[in-house]
């Protein structure tokens, strides 16, 4: 066999073995970035000029507000921290579209701010009133719990959840037959407020929550077997009972209920005349 036949005919380009040319790198794209504001030794980006109600409904809005409140408290801006903490609690407790279900930590912050500023009047301690109303029953302090809920109700009359808690409180605190009638009144009031209020049901989770809460309230109303009218008669006759609650709180509940009944009757009469 000839030597030429032993030669392998590879068609290589010798340049591939040469390292004379450097690899070209694609330039990285530049990204616009604005650093978060740094003041007082900490980032303050969480302080926003957005509308509070809107921000609370955003995905990370509640955490952003919480950071801002804690930052204000850290730097002893107690008035602003208190105002925002109470607003946070109000939206969480009354806006069905808000996903926040636990306001205990924010209530504690509000309580500390109120103590620091000395602003302990009911109009500025709504968050702490809710906290008291939830805590006192654990200690069997039924009267204090009801007073806290009534005081809260005077300033937030469209919060159905508090009426619901009042009904639960009555059933837990007393074994008297009259308790069923008062609890029924509270539960019925909660259901009325809930169904008459404007719920934002544009989001699926809001619709699901509304239906779920409504079904729970309706089930609670059916289970009590009370008659609010019997409580009205009991109050008008000034009969004894329910000594674990303060009379002035029972008076307020009675007046609030009878006033709503009168308003409803007037609306029904007006509607009947209009339909003639």
User: Got the DSSP string for 173-197?
Assistant: H--STHHHHHHHHHHHHHHHHHHHS
| Predicted TM-score (pTM) of this structure | 0.57
pLDDT on residue 85: 87
Q: Cα–Cα distance between 147 and 249 in angstroms, integer?
A: 6
In DSSP terms, 43 is beta-bridged to 38
Q: Cα–Cα distance between 112 and 125 in angstroms, integer?
A: 11
The DSSP element (H or E) to which 42 belongs, if any, is strand 42-43
The candidate with the shortest Cα–Cα distance to 159, out of 134, 122, 196, is: 196
pLDDT digits (tens), the chain, 276 positions: 555 555 555 555 555 555 555 555 555 555 554 444 444 444 566 666 666 777 888 888 888 889 899 998 988 999 888 888 888 887 887 777 787 877 778 878 887 887 788 776 644 456 678 878 888 998 999 999 999 999 989 888 888 889 999 999 999 999 999 999 999 999 999 999 988 876 666 667 777 878 888 999 999 999 999 999 999 999 999 999 999 999 999 999 999 999 988 888 887 777 766 776
């Amino acid at each position: 066999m000839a030597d030429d036949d032993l030669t392998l005919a590879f068609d290589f380009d010798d340049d591939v073995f040469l390292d004379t040319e450097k690899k070209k790198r694609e330039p990285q794209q530049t990204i616009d970035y604005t650093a978060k504001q740094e003041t007082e030794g900490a980032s303050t980006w969480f302080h926003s000029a957005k509308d509070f109600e809107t921000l609370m409904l955003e995905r990370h809005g509640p955490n952003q507000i919480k950071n801002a409140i804690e930052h204000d408290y850290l730097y002893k801006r107690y008035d602003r921290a208190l105002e925002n903490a109470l607003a946070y609690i109000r939206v969480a407790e009354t806006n069905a579209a808000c996903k926040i279900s636990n306001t205990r930590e924010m209530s504690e912050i509000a309580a500390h701010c109120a103590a620091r500023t000395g602003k302990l009047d009911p109009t500025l301690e709504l968050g702490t009133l809710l906290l008291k109303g939830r805590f006192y029953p654990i200690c069997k302090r039924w009267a204090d719990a009801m007073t806290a809920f009534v005081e809260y109700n005077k300033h937030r009359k469209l919060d159905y959840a508090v009426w619901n808690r009042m009904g639960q409180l009555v059933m837990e605190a007393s074994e008297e037959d009259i308790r069923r009638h008062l609890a029924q009144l509270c539960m019925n009031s909660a259901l009325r407020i809930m169904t008459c209020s404007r719920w934002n049901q544009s989001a699926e989770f809001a619709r699901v929550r509304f239906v779920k809460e409504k079904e729970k309230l309706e089930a609670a109303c059916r289970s009590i077997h009370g008659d609010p009218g019997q409580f009205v008669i009991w109050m008008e006759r000034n009969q004894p009972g329910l000594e674990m609650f303060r009379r002035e709180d029972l008076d307020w509940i009675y007046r609030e209920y009878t006033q709503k009944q009168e308003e409803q009757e007037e609306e029904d009469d007006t509607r009947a005349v209009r339909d003639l």
